[in-house]
Amino acid sequence: MNHLKQAFDGQSQLWKYIVTILIGFVATNFIGILPLLIVMMSKLAQGYSANPDNLLDLSAYGIDLNTGLILMLIPYVIGLIVLVVLFKRLHKRSLSQVINGTKKIRWNRFFYAMGMWALLLAVTLSIEYFVSPQDFKFQFEPTRFLISAVIILIFIPFQTTFEEVLFRGYLMQGLAFWSKNKWIAIISTALIFGLLHSFNPEVDSFGFWLAMPQYIIFGLTFGIMVVLDDGIETAMGAHAANNMFLCLFVTSKESALQTYAVFEKININPSFIDILVLLITSIIFLFILKSKYKWNFSVLNIRKRIEF
């Protein structure tokens, strides 16, 4: 368990975690968001008005979606850079040590998980389109789509890596150190991950009790993967695939990230079936990775405490 035991290096004092999280929060949510706020205020001064149902609907401000996408993702680039610096300065850890407790990132795992999760998403989206084609609007614009694709492929991995490094890397290591219990680390980070996404416009549109379980299922699935694989590379890959796939192929007015995707979903009918589909897909994904990497599920035994 190199990943979780990395926190037993004598550099996991609570004050260091508090300082790192506070500085990371300020860098991401205040400094990183400034370019977007400046552009939005400029557009409001020109007479544009916000969409009351989704304040992040940048088209309402007259902002090109590709420009808006870059502005929305800049905070994560800044946030990731700040975290890496703080890890090194305060905790004496490299990025790879936060990712898996070693000096080498296993990129093959990252790309395999990315491909498998993208494949599962393609299957579920195809089934959904076949069952309810009236819910989708084809809006493919080659030039705008290609520009979007370049932006998505460059910037989305920064967003998802920032979140995985923060939650399944840094926080999970700290919680494992303080509790000596892997399940406390898994469940706590999943709940925090879900609650921090409660500010997304999708939560207002779908309803808290339909949207929140899906975020928590993601968090639990990724947390379990991290413990089984002794590192966050598979979670990084799956998370990147999830966000890139959705940004490229299906968007909606309720989406936090507005893009020139191939399809726009025009009829949103959230139900508990969505939760069930995600749960089944996540279980299938776990067993695909188990088969590939010969994971031993006994490491999840709640009675096995983390010992240094």
Report pLDDT digits (tens) over 79-138: 999 999 999 999 999 999 999 999 999 999 999 999 999 999 999 999 999 999 999 999
Domain contains 305:
no
The arithmetic mean of pLDDT across residues 265-271, rounded, is 88
Domain contains 224:
yes
Domain contains 124:
yes
The arithmetic mean of pLDDT across residues 199-222, rounded, is 92
Q: Residues 206-218, buried b or exposed e (16+ Cβ, 10 A)?
A: beeebbbbbbbbb
Domain contains 25:
yes
Among 113-122, 129-138, 165-174, 264-273, which is the least confidently predicted range?
Answer: 264-273
Q: Which domain holds residue 50?
A: 2-300
Number of domains into which the chain is organized: 1
pLDDT at 279 over 90: yes
The arithmetic mean of pLDDT across residues 156-176, rounded, is 97
pLDDT at 306 over 80: no
Tokens for 145?
Answer: 């789509």
Residue 179, pLDDT score: 93
Q: How far is CA 67 from the centre of its chain?
A: 21
Please report, rounded to a whole number, the percentage of residues in the chain having pLDDT higher than 90.
82
Residue 58, pLDDT score: 82
Dihedral of the CA atoms 32, 251, 238, 20 (nearest 10)? Answer: 20
The arithmetic mean of pLDDT across residues 51-77, rounded, is 89
Q: How far is CA 126 from the centre of its chain?
A: 23
CA-CA distance, 244 to 79, in Å (whole number)? 19
Residue type, 103: K
Q: 235, 223, 219: which is closest to 112 by C-alpha?
A: 235
Confidence of residue 268 (pLDDT cuts 50, 70, 90): confident
Helices and strands of the chain, counted as H and E runs: 13, 3
CA-CA distance, 19 to 8, in Å (whole number)? 19
8 Å CB contact between 273 and 145:
no
β-bridge mates for residue 138, sequence order: 263
Residue 304, pLDDT score: 73
What's the pTM? 0.94
**DSSP category for residue 63:** -
Domain contains 200:
yes
pLDDT at 77 over 80: yes
8 Å CB contact between 191 and 252:
no
8 Å CB contact between 243 and 261:
no
CA-CA distance, 261 to 66, in Å (whole number)? 11
Residue that wins the pLDDT comparison between 169 and 270: 169
The arithmetic mean of pLDDT across residues 207-222, rounded, is 95
- Strands across the sheet with 263-265, in order? 136-138, 263-265, 250-251
Contacts of 55 (CB under 8 A, 6+ apart): 201
Domain contains 306:
no
Residue that wins the pLDDT comparison between 55 and 101: 101
